Structure 1
Amino acid sequence: MATFVLIHGAGDVGWYWHLVEAELRARGHDTVSPDLPCEDDSAGLPEYAGTVAEAIGDRTDLIVVAQSSGGFTAPLVCDRMVVELLVLVAPMIPMPGEAPADYSAGTGYDREERDRYDDVVALFYQDVPPELAAEALKRGRAQSEARMGEPFPLRAWPDVPTRVLICRDDRVFPAGFLRRVARERLGITPDEIDGGHTPALSRPHELADRLEAYAAEEGPLR
């Protein structure tokens, strides 16, 4: 069985993954979903990766899964630990030397034609049950940007098999945008599921199915 290391996005908490964790644990897997130090002005990407590595401890057979801006942290974890597979979900996909603050300009996201939403629920949680969306908002934290101008420290993408899973109805990172970025930056044609930006809350069973299938294909379940 695998250990799924689940990394949340900006201003969020490990709770985001709780339904997917329940699914995976019911199938016999182990899970780790730490809270990143996103409110700490002294913490940057290396500290985020250190938090994840500390939570992993001596676990093995690691499948690292990152949501949204967690795509900046996950490769650093893969550089520190022995990882079987990296899965990026509705992700940001960094280039070597690119700061998170420069991602919008670097990918052309700031020029991307897309619908605009002022309401947080409409943008992030449009297909999440209302009670879960409300709980997610209550648990959300401020995201420090104090060190988001620092370059992504890796010189190259880690030598780990990588899958990209995008959401067809994502209002944050539209599917067309992520298809292009995944192709340009990783040479990957992403897989797709229905739903918005937060499938761990809107489609936990389907997402767990995908993660388990990826592990069986390329990870320690072979």
Structure 2
Amino acid sequence: MATFVLIHGAGDVGWYWHLVEAELRARGHDTVAPDLPCDDDTAGLAEYADAVVAAVGDRTDLIVVGQSLGAFVAPLVADRLPVERLVLVAPLIPRPGEPPEAYWTGTDYQPAGSYDDLFYQDVPPELTAEAERRSRDQSTARMGEPFPLRAWPDVPTRVLLCRDDRLLPPEFVRRVARERLGVTPDEIDGGHTPALSRPGELAAYLLS
């Protein structure tokens, strides 16, 4: 039995993963999906990692999954806990010393689309409404602080891109994953929030 440690993205909550958690638990695995203190101006990446480590407790056989901005947090957790694998889903992939707020210029990112188009274009309306109700403001007060690791953790790492992602298009994620991790991403259909739009497929991928 593995423990899947599920880290949400910016301005979100652990609820984001609830459908994937149900799939994983139905197959006998444990899950942890904490709320990060992302609306707290006093909290930065280290405090986000603290929240995850506290939620994990003494669990073992950890597979750490970071969604979007959660990919900045996942390697910090892997640097502090014995982790079997890192999985980055539709990720922002950090490099040593890079502040989150500098990610867009550091990767030559070109934005496009409106909020709903970028995040929820293929999510059922009732889930979109609930996700928006639960969402929180993402504090940027400490997003200018450097990513603290000097090197990527010595943990097997996989990257999963979403072929229909309008926030982080496939060609963008392929390039950044290659440049920063030397990894060719795996791929599934769907937009930026597959835990809501394609939970069964995402859970099957995590189990693979």
Q: TM-score range by the shorter chain?
A: over 0.9
- Partner amino acid for 1:77? V
* d(CA) in 1 for partners of 2:86, 2:21: 17
The aligned residue for residue 117 of structure 1 is: 113
* Aligned-residue offset at 1:148: 0.3
- Asked if 1:129 corresponds to 2:124, the answer is yes
Runs of 5+ in structure 2 lacking a partner?
A: none
- Over 2 Å off, 4+ runs: none
* Aligned-residue offset at 1:122: 1.8
- Partner amino acid for 1:152? F
- Please state whether the residue corresponding to 1:86 is helix, strand or coil: strand
- Please state whether the residue corresponding to 1:88 is helix, strand or coil: strand
User: Alpha-carbon deviations, 1:140-173, whole Å to 9, x = none?
Assistant: 0000000000000000000000000000000000
Report the number of matched residues. 208
The aligned residue for residue 152 of structure 1 is: 147
The aligned residue for residue 168 of structure 1 is: 163
User: Alpha-carbon deviations, 1:70-120, whole Å to 9, x = none?
Assistant: 0100000000000000000000000000000100011111xx3x6x222x2
- Partner amino acid for 2:15? W
The aligned residue for residue 88 of structure 1 is: 88
- Partner amino acid for 1:142? D
The aligned residue for residue 103 of structure 1 is: 103
* d(CA) in 2 for partners of 1:200, 1:39: 21
Select which of 177, 180, 195 maps to 2:172.
177
- Please state whether the residue corresponding to 2:42 is helix, strand or coil: coil
* d(CA) in 1 for partners of 2:9, 2:173: 16
* d(CA) in 1 for partners of 2:181, 2:116: 30
The aligned residue for residue 73 of structure 1 is: 73
* Aligned-residue offset at 1:175: 0.4
* Aligned-residue offset at 1:65: 0.3
* Aligned-residue offset at 1:123: 1.5
* d(CA) in 2 for partners of 1:71, 1:31: 17
State the identity %. 75
Runs of 5+ in structure 1 lacking a partner?
A: 214-222
- Partner amino acid for 2:172? F
- Please state whether the residue corresponding to 1:146 is helix, strand or coil: coil
* d(CA) in 2 for partners of 1:27, 1:189: 28
The aligned residue for residue 191 of structure 2 is: 196
- Partner amino acid for 1:162? T
- Asked if 1:26 corresponds to 2:26, the answer is yes
- Partner amino acid for 2:199? P
- Please state whether the residue corresponding to 2:141 is helix, strand or coil: coil
* Aligned-residue offset at 1:3: 0.1
* Aligned-residue offset at 1:187: 0.2
The aligned residue for residue 55 of structure 2 is: 55
The aligned residue for residue 181 of structure 2 is: 186
- Partner amino acid for 1:177? F
* d(CA) in 2 for partners of 1:189, 1:74: 19
- Please state whether the residue corresponding to 1:188 is helix, strand or coil: coil
The aligned residue for residue 135 of structure 2 is: 140
- Partner amino acid for 2:187? E
* Aligned-residue offset at 1:121: 1.9
Select which of 193, 198, 201 maps to 1:206.
201
* d(CA) in 1 for partners of 2:94, 2:118: 22
The aligned residue for residue 42 of structure 2 is: 42
- Partner amino acid for 1:11? G
* d(CA) in 2 for partners of 1:71, 1:122: 22
